[in-house]
Structure 1
Amino acid sequence: MPERRTNSGVLVIGLGRFGSALAITLEKSGREVLAVERNPELIEQWSGRLPLVEADATNPESLEQLGASEFPVAVVGVGTSLEASVLITGNLVDLGMPEIWAKAISAEHGRILRRIGAHHVVYPEHDAGQRVAHMVSGRMLDFIEMEDGFTIVKMRPPKETWGFTLAESDIHKKYGITVIGVKPPGEPFEYSTEHTRINRDDILIVSGNTELLERFAQRP
């Protein structure tokens, strides 16, 4: 029987590529994690590297026995088996989990998960594909699309901005986007003001409409 968890614990069900990466990252960030897996090969691979319980989460009794309801957050990393994903998510809903994140591999899969009670549905492969597509098409180094077309990107500055302050280059007026901050090489991140000067080796954190950011990132 696993130890009782604090209110920061996360239950991660499924240690495929998505679930294992998630669990490792949470562990490194100081969150308490308990992984649940039934595949003997994955159990052997991750045993000793993560707090791990061998259990079949499609069985509601197994979840009850390992104390799943004591965790404030559960992540269903099982995606390749639609039946297992749906059964596990439904079991967590029945246990009254406060927050359930579930991986989906298609829009239809995601709709089912939401209908049965998942609070958040993620599409790792689809989201990663979109993100990389934006990054390879211009100066973007990272890309986070929020909602309603609002996006935050990390990018290299276009040549026309080198050596000028934000007031001088007037980026917001010209392109309709906002420079949130600037990270010079070897120096800490700074929130921008109209006096912030941009240099060629800086990294910009910029926000705004996705299409407008794409145009700005395509500038030479």
Structure 2
Amino acid sequence: MADIGNDPVVVIGLGRFGTSLALELAKRGTEVLAIDNRPKIVQSLSGRLTHIVSADATDIDALRELGVADFYRAVVGIGGDLEASILTTSLLVELDIDDIWAKAISRQHARILERIGAHHIVLPEHDMGERVAHLVSGRMLDYLEVDENFALAKTLPPKELVGIPLGDTRLRAKHGVTVVSVKRPGEDFTYATTETILEYGDVILIAGPITKVERFAERA
């Protein structure tokens, strides 16, 4: 399929995660083929998703009949049934799906999915628990881990940064983080520059290695 960004997506497994994902994709204008082996679930979502079918995703012939092999991107949202999750993912690999996303419920489950060929692993419960832990234990207003050792955090500026142009603070040299955006009270976020002067009441978005982001946020 030529335009990868606008390709339809097949979502297999309509639990809480799969349903939320399928509905959000549809809301954003992406064509979605949703598959679940529970007729009641399919019936309950039939008015909200245009293409939704009840089928056994662990049957490669059923997947072929539904045209799954023609999709560039697929998401396996099956979580509770590990055997079905692993088998479905392996069948998508066999069908040569280029971009496979799979939900895992544990690190061990994630490792198995990676080994059989899933390109991206999603650990919703773990990721959300990790994010909330950062928010509860520190002074961050929001937190997003974007790589194994890199994060974005929304926090308040420490006193030492207020009233001084960011270019004069030597922030990256001292603390290893960068202020990438600033939000004034009642305004939207804007890009920070070396001339930006922070004020009390501002909210800042910082980026950097996880440990340094955590340490810097504690100074707020």
| TM-score with structure 2 setting the length | 0.89
**Structure 1 counterpart SS, 2:180:** strand
CA distances 1:143-186 after superposition (whole Å, capped 9, x unpaired): 22233422112223234433433134443233221111112233
The Cα shift of 1:126 comes to 0.7
CA RMSD of aligned residues (A): 1.9
User: Which ranges in structure 2 are unaligned for 5 or more consecutive residues?
Assistant: none
Q: Which residues of structure 1 form unaligned runs of 5+?
A: 1-5
State the match for 1:206 in structure 2. Answer: 206
- Counterpart residue number, 1:195: 195
The CA deviation at 1:78 is 0.0
What is the CA distance between 1:117 and its match in structure 2? 1.2
How big is the shift at 1:7? Answer: 5.2
* 1:86-165 matches, cutoff 5 A: 86-165=86-165
- 1:188-220 deviation per Cα after TM superposition (whole angstroms, max 9, x unaligned): 332111111222332211111111111111124
How far the C-alpha of 1:15 sits from its partner, in A, is: 1.0
8 Å Cα contact 1:7/1:71 also seen in 2:
no
Contact 1:139–1:157 (8 Å) recurs in 2:
no
Q: When the two structures are superposed, what TM-score results if normalisation uses the length of structure 1?
A: 0.89
Identity of aligned residues (%): 51
Deviates more, 1:12-21 or 1:37-46: 37-46
CA contact (8 A) 2:6 2:30 kept: no
Cα distance in 2 between the residues matched to 1:28 and 1:140: 30
> Following the alignment from structure 1 to structure 2, what is the Cα–Cα distance between the partners of residues 202 and 113?
43
User: For the Cα contact (< 8 Å) 1:106–1:123, is it kept in 2?
Assistant: yes
Question: In structure 1, what is the Cα distance between the partners aligned to 2:49 and 2:157?
Answer: 41
> What is the distance in 2 between the residues matched to 1:12 and 1:127?
20
Following superposition, the deviation at residue 72 of structure 1 comes to: 1.0
The letter of the residue matching 1:107 is R
Mapped to 1, the partners of 2:186 and 2:102 lie a distance apart of: 38
